[in-house]
Amino acid sequence: MRELAGDSVNGLTIIIAYRDAKGAASLRQVSCIRIETGQGKRYLRAFCHHRRAQRVFLMTRIDAVHDAETGEELAGGTDYFAPFADDRISASPLGWGLSPVQRADLGAGLTALIFLSRCDGHVDAAENDEIDTFTASWWIRAEIHAPFPEADISAHIRRMAPDVEAFVLAAQRIRASAALRPIVAGYAKRVIEADGRIAPEEHHWIARYIDWMTN
């Protein structure tokens, strides 16, 4: 454990003993990204090596923390993370009031659009504006009753950096959703054209995306 209070948890690789919402226990090796607080609850955002994806873990469900190399138990979950700083604090619920399915749908749409906007290595403000507009439009169409946390989601979008694998997985989810497919298709075109130029990388990936959606 780090001795200095207030350090970020970012970069630590550990094993956590975790209980899910149904009480099922598991040991998971994770690489920590940050600690987030929403409505007074602390969460660990980390890359789960078993799932090979980012996951969010509620702190009160982490029973213990173990050394990733030796397996030695270091401390109880609450005690281990107590000295570390909260990297992100929000007044909104961590899940923005969305169900798991809604959060996954929104995440797939954002992943696809953000990848298309950044695959040429250039981030343009106009493209970001279109992605923000997509989020608000999706929120309305999905008839989400929770307040729209515009600032929280916008900050989350700016931190996202999806790779090709994430883009392909997002496209698979979008293709399977009759509600999601048309809105993402429309905004994909708007994002690609927003900066007034279509780079070769953008042309390649939007063509692949259209092919996936139509075949």
- For 57-83, give the DSSP string: EEGGGEEEEEETTT--EEEEHHHHHTT
Query: Which pLDDT belongs to residue 89?
Result: 65
**Confidence band of 25 (pLDDT split at 50, 70, 90):** very high
Q: What number of helices (H) and strands (E) belong to the chain?
A: 7, 7
Structure tokens at 157: 């979008």
Residue 2 has pLDDT above 50, yes or no: no
Structure tokens at 191: 């994002």
Q: How far apart are CA 42 and CA 211, in angstroms?
A: 42
Q: Tell me the mean pLDDT in the region 32-59.
A: 85
Helix (H, G, I), strand (E, B) or coil at 184: helix
Q: Tell me the mean pLDDT in the region 172-192.
A: 93
Q: Tell me the mean pLDDT in the region 154-164.
A: 86
Query: Which pLDDT belongs to residue 129?
Result: 92
Query: Which pLDDT belongs to residue 37?
Result: 84
| Range from 75-89, 106-120, 127-141 carrying the lowest mean pLDDT | 75-89
Please give the share of the chain, as a percent, with pLDDT higher than 90.
50
Q: How far apart are CA 131 and CA 109, in angstroms?
A: 9
Query: Which pLDDT belongs to residue 106?
Result: 94
Q: pLDDT per residue over 8-24, tens digit each?
A: 888 889 999 999 878 88
Query: Which pLDDT belongs to residue 4?
Result: 40
Question: Terminal CA-to-CA distance of the chain, rounded, Å?
Answer: 52
Contact 173, 180 (CB under 8 A): yes
Query: Which pLDDT belongs to residue 91?
Result: 57
Residue 5 has pLDDT above 60, yes or no: no
Residue 101 has pLDDT above 60, yes or no: yes
Query: Which pLDDT belongs to residue 92?
Result: 59
* 123 or 186, higher pLDDT: 186
Buried b / exposed e along 6-43 (16+ C-beta atoms within 10 A): eeebeebebbbbbbeeeeeeeebebebbbbbbbeeebb
Domains in the chain with CATH codes: 13-90 (no CATH), 100-214 (1.10.3680)
**Confidence band of 160 (pLDDT split at 50, 70, 90):** confident
Q: Tell me the mean pLDDT in the region 43-48.
A: 89
Q: What is the mean pLDDT of the chain?
A: 87
Whole-angstrom CA distances from 209 to 68, 167, 173, 202 are: 39, 9, 12, 10
Contact 68, 14 (CB under 8 A): yes
Please give the share of the chain, as a percent, with pLDDT higher than 70.
93
Q: How far apart are CA 162 and CA 177, in angstroms?
A: 20
